[in-house]
Amino acid sequence: MSSEHEPPVPAFARTFGLRIALWYATLFVSGAIAIVLVTYYLTAASLAQRDRQIINGKLGDYAAAYVRGGVRVLAATVRAEQQVAPERLFVRVVDRGVEAVVLSNPDGWDPSKLETVSATLDDGTLVQVGKSTEARDDLLARFRATLGMVTLVIVAVALTGGWLATRSALFPIRRLTLAVRRIIRTGRTDARVPLDGTGDAIDELTTLFNAMLDKIEGLVTAMRGALDNVSHDLRTPLTRLRGAAEMALASPPKGDSVQQAEHYRDVLADCVEESDRVLVMLNTLMDISEAESGTMQLRREAVPLAEIVARAIDLYRDVADAKGVTLSSSTPAGVVVTADRTRLEQVAANLIDNAVKYTPSGGRVDVDVLQDADAAVMRVGDTGPGIPADELPLIFDRLFRGDTSRTERGLGLGLSLVKAVVEAHGGTVEVSSELGRGSVFTVSLPLG
């Protein structure tokens, strides 16, 4: 079990962080080592070059002294020089390959660490000057030791620095990972990852992640709400259905067998009616879901809007007449859309149904078809009660029914279906309404 406060570092961050740290350290250390090596070799080469210059200079001087006065003058020169110069050189003269005279050979010199240069004079005499490399070697050895220490420090700094840098770079990712993990574990979508406000890439990712959570939360809430509404709305017809059947079973009807059969027939008819209500509701809900998710099968064809409106008006002509509502239309031919004819008829029928239903006797319902710049428009206007401003944003929601509309028949699904189907066709539906004066629903569809 891991505690909430000290959560384990996720494996990916461990290996990822380690990899970055190692990369960083390797680059840093190899760069540093390259610089150290170059410095060392340049120093060593320049020291060697300086020694050779000294030896060559002396060799020239001594050869000149020998030419001037033979071994005697050369010996005097060497002695005189070595009294003032702190650095003692090895000097030897070999006379035509037979007699060797060593003029200077300081004590305690290791002959293996002697760097010599010789010059052969015209008479065949060899003058040789040497210099010990001991001091130089000693200096370089100490330089090497120092460089070794410096390199060790660099490696240590690189490793610690790399570790610290990747740790701090990975910290926001770790926080994000932990937040995601917490959300998955608790199933709570209201948790959010805190921003550190630097505005960097990680901050942007966090913002996007939080926005995604907002969206998911919104969808889940909407789905829960819809499910609650559906359950609630299904309960009423189902309870009524059950009540009717139960009543019929509990109290056997009086009268003769014909009367009894009549009674049972009535109860069964009620039951069928209630089941139809449930079925219509479920079918409509499924249609809306399909249209919204884009899985609704649309048999698209070129359809003149005038035909659609004419058929829907035919359906409601009698209802409107009976209610005393004038139903009229202005539908020029030639406004054609590419759409599913049946679905579009459903849209027109639902809008006209609402308009006739909510408009009181003596009112009017006008259906117009017209062509906008690049859209086919169908407008259903009525002189009904209008829709209160606070209800306007809700009327397209599933199962929403206006406060004053509850006395009318309806499921609160008509406008949801209209919107879903119109949007599945790439169109839009808008409403404008004025209380006490009426409402206008405008459907715009892309021209076919």
- Non-local (6+) Cβ contacts of 390 within 8 A are none
DSSP states along 50-89: HHHHHHHHHHHHHHHHHHHHHHHHHHHHHHHHHHH-SS--
Question: Least CB distance from residue 214 to ligand ADP, whole Å?
Answer: 27
Question: Least CB distance from residue 439 to ligand ADP, whole Å?
Answer: 4
- Report which of 64, 83, 82, 89 is spatially closest to residue 74, judged by C-alpha positions: 64
Residues 226, 398 contacting (CB under 8 angstroms): yes
| Residue tagged 């509701």 (tokens) | 281
Count other C-beta atoms under 10 Å from residue 394's C-beta: 14
Question: Least CB distance from residue 274 to ligand ADP, whole Å?
Answer: 17
Number of residues in contact with ligand ADP under rule CB under 6 A: 20
| Residue tagged 């789905």 (tokens) | 223
Binding to ligand ADP, residues 196-255 (CB under 6 A): none
Question: Least CB distance from residue 225 to ligand ADP, whole Å?
Answer: 15
Residue type, 334: G
Binding to ligand ADP, residues 148-177 (CB under 6 A): none
By C-beta, is 132 or 405 nearer to ligand ADP? 405
Question: Least CB distance from residue 236 to ligand ADP, whole Å?
Answer: 14
Question: Least CB distance from residue 237 to ligand ADP, whole Å?
Answer: 14
By C-beta, is 172 or 414 nearer to ligand ADP? 414
Nearest residue relative to ligand ADP (C-beta): 402
Binding to ligand ADP, residues 346-385 (CB under 6 A): 354-355, 358, 382, 384-385
CA atoms of 383 and 389, how far apart (whole Å): 17
Residues 378, 249 contacting (CB under 8 angstroms): no
By C-beta, is 162 or 381 nearer to ligand ADP? 381
Question: Least CB distance from residue 201 to ligand ADP, whole Å?
Answer: 45
Pinpoint the alpha helices (H) of 85-200: 134-186
Residues 304, 268 contacting (CB under 8 angstroms): no
| Residue 380-419 contact track with ligand ADP, rule CB under 6 A, x = bound | --x-xx-x-------x----xxx--x----xxxxxxx---
- Report which of 81, 126, 67 is spatially closest to residue 100, judged by C-alpha positions: 126
CA atoms of 443 and 327, how far apart (whole Å): 18
Question: Least CB distance from residue 437 to ligand ADP, whole Å?
Answer: 11
Question: Least CB distance from residue 408 to ligand ADP, whole Å?
Answer: 7
203's tokens: 């901050």
| Residue tagged 């913002």 (tokens) | 207
By C-beta, is 51 or 353 nearer to ligand ADP? 353
Residues 442, 429 contacting (CB under 8 angstroms): yes
By C-beta, is 171 or 400 nearer to ligand ADP? 400
Question: Least CB distance from residue 332 to ligand ADP, whole Å?
Answer: 23
Residues 158, 25 contacting (CB under 8 angstroms): yes
Question: Least CB distance from residue 224 to ligand ADP, whole Å?
Answer: 20
By C-beta, is 172 or 384 nearer to ligand ADP? 384
Q: Which three-class secondary structure state does DSSP give residue 35?
A: helix
By C-beta, is 158 or 415 nearer to ligand ADP? 415
| Residue 51-90 contact track with ligand ADP, rule CB under 6 A, x = bound | ----------------------------------------
By C-beta, is 376 or 418 nearer to ligand ADP? 418
DSSP states along 215-242: HHHHHHHHHHHHHHHHHHHHHHHHHHHH
By C-beta, is 385 or 427 nearer to ligand ADP? 385
| Residue 303-342 contact track with ligand ADP, rule CB under 6 A, x = bound | ----------------------------------------
CA atoms of 419 and 426, how far apart (whole Å): 11
**Rounded alpha-carbon distances, angstroms, from residue 71 to 61, 125, 224, 231:** 13, 10, 115, 125
| Residue 26-45 contact track with ligand ADP, rule CB under 6 A, x = bound | --------------------
CA atoms of 376 and 93, how far apart (whole Å): 117
By C-beta, is 17 or 412 nearer to ligand ADP? 412
By C-beta, is 253 or 410 nearer to ligand ADP? 410
CA atoms of 236 and 168, how far apart (whole Å): 59
Site residues for ligand ADP per CB under 6 A: 354-355, 358, 382, 384-385, 387, 395, 400-402, 405, 410-416, 439
